[in-house]
Amino acid sequence: MTYLLKNGSVYVNGGFETTDLLVKDGVIAALGKDLCCAEAEVIDCTGKTVVPGLVDLHVHLREPGFEYKETVATGTAAAAAGGYTTILSMPNLNPVPDNVEALKVQLAAIEKDACIHVLPFGSITVGQKGQVLSDIDGMAGLCAGYSDDGKGVQNENLMLEAMELVKKNGSFISAHCEDEALLEGGSIHKGEFAALMNLRGISSASEFVPIVRDIALAEKTGVQYHICHISAKESIEAVRQGKARGVNVTCEVTPHHIALCDMDIKSDDGKYKMNPPLRGREDREAIFAGLQDGTIDVIATDHAPHSAEEKGRGLEKSAFGIVGSETAFAVSYTELVRSGIVSLEKLVELMSVKPAAIIGRKALLAEGEAADIAVFDLEAEFAVDPAEFLSKGKSTPFEGMKFFGRTELTLCGGNIVYRRK
């Protein structure tokens, strides 16, 4: 199909200009004012914002092994509805992609059912058990990188060995940083709300202690090292110091950690339970500062769908994780851009340009580039209704909240993969 997107505010060369965009044969065929094409379907983008398709470095698709939570088909449809055209899928699956044969099971599901680009992670350790390294050499070139997300690698020597292998293969590590010895059986942040509710809390030290360790290892090995879902002020400062020393370290923050702190928890409801937990007010302020000064590189969803039963057991007993693909842009735009914390251009960098760069790709609207495109209506306000989600997961702390920045259209490889009805 050929499409002509007319009169949108298009992200070009780091800024916005009102122009047209012609999509033909999967690529951007032309970019300019007053374009015409007799064979094209004309899509009026007047008053809409056109950006490179969003890139999410952290998604749980749950297939193979946990299809009752999510599938490749439902997870990628949800991502497309959020404006994403490329996502990286985490390896907490069954079978765990810790060798080529297991990884190919996931790749086959992606090939069959994905409506957008999906790049899977291989696991760092066999079975994500933290005992023995996965077939890192064998999976090189078949996976986007390596992660044990959902669990932290507890053994320092094992992580050092993993970094050396990953560095040799020219790939990167995306690390879930969590010291299990410091968890204390907590379910929410060890802070003001936990004390009020008399609940066991998860300390910030459980996150920042392994981050400090791993940054030192990354400095030693020179590996490309990325930190998942950063949440604590001490963690952000450790990354800031590591970058100042020239360490090849990047990190991501989630929309829920941007928008909420522990005192925003309204009830004993599993929709407020995620790992890492919603931190304190001072941590949220540190996130804003980290986004502004470049310490935090990208926004990623940590989209983690579960069944209604798994999320319906209250704060202490519910599974960790919430969905986020379909709300991420709107939450981030509303909380960051409309409040003046970052510019719209900066948000596009955080959600598209920089995550693409981390995986060695380009997110660019220019002639000859792949037509991976998202269109948003920044003035459209909507209330979050999980019943409307395309994801199987419905658990979100944003239920009923209102945000600006509705997805209108998503094209991946020149094909329309989402169009608002």
Measured CA to CA, the distance from residue 288 to residue 278 in angstroms comes to 14
SS3 sequence, the chain?
CCEEEEEEEEEECCEEEEEEEEEECCEEEEEECCCCCCCCEEEECCCCEEEECEEEEEECCCCCCCCCCCCHHHHHHHHHHCCEEEEEECCCCCCCCCCHHHHHHHHHHHHHHCCCEEEEEECCEHHHCCCCECCHHHHCCCCCEECCCCCCCCCHHHHHHHHHHHHHCCCEEEECCCCHHHCCCCCEECCHHHHHHCCCEECCHHHHHHHHHHHHHHHHHCCEEEECCCCCHHHHHHHHHHHHCCCCEEEEECHHHHHCCHHHCCCCCHHHCCCCCCCCHHHHHHHHHHHHHCCCCEECCCECCCCCCCCCCHHHHCCCCCCCCCCHHHHHHHHHHCCCCCCHHHHHHHHHHHHHHHCCCCCCCCCCCECCEEEEEEEEEEECCHHHCCCCCCCCCCCCCEEEEEEEEEEECCEEEEECC
Rounded mean pLDDT, 368-384: 98
How is residue 85 written in tokens?
A: 């055209």
Measured CA to CA, the distance from residue 374 to residue 332 in angstroms comes to 15
Residue 315: per-residue pLDDT: 96
Cis peptide before 91 (omega within 30 of 0): no
Residue 184: per-residue pLDDT: 86
Using CA of residue 234, residue 235, residue 236, residue 239, what is the dihedral sign?
Answer: positive
302 is catalytic: yes
* Residue 357: burial class (beta carbons within 10 Å; 0-12, 13-18, 19+): middle
pLDDT band at 312 (very low <50, low <70, confident <90, very high): very high
CB proximity list for 75: less than 8 A, separation 6 or greater: 59, 60, 61, 62, 63, 87, 89, 303, 305, 325, 391
| Residue from 158, 350, 320, 337 nearest 250 by CA | 350
Measured CA to CA, the distance from residue 197 to residue 273 in angstroms comes to 14
Residue 64: pLDDT above 90? yes
Rounded mean pLDDT, 361-371: 97
Strand partners of residue 51:
374
Other Cβ atoms within 10 Å of 17 Cβ, number: 12
Per-residue pLDDT of 93-131, as tens digits, reads 999 999 999 999 999 999 999 999 999 999 999 999 999
Domain boundaries, the chain: 3-49+369-419, 53-358
Q: Which residue has the tokens 């960051």?
A: 336
Please state the length of the chain.
Answer: 421
CATH architecture group of domain 53-358 = Alpha-Beta Barrel (3.20)
Strand partners of residue 11:
16
**Are β-strands 84-89 and 27-32 bridged in parallel, bridged antiparallel, or unpaired?**
unpaired
Phi first, then psi: give them for residue 278, nearest 5 degrees. -60, 120
Q: To 5 degrees, how large is the angle CA 399–CA 403–CA 408?
A: 105
- Contact (CB, 8 A) for 192 and 262: yes
- Maximum distance among all alpha carbons in the chain? 67
The active-site residue out of 148, 262, 302, 372 is 302
What mean pLDDT, rounded, does the chain reach?
A: 97
Residue 319: per-residue pLDDT: 98
CATH class of the domain comprising 3-49+369-419: mainly beta
Residue 151: per-residue pLDDT: 94
Rounded mean pLDDT, 360-386: 98
- Contact (CB, 8 A) for 50 and 11: yes
Per-residue pLDDT of 386-413, as tens digits, reads 999 999 999 999 999 999 999 999 999 9
Question: What pTM, to 2 d.p., does this model score?
Answer: 0.98
**Is residue 313 left, alpha or beta, with left meaning phi > 0 and alpha meaning psi from -120 to 50?**
alpha
- Contact (CB, 8 A) for 367 and 29: yes
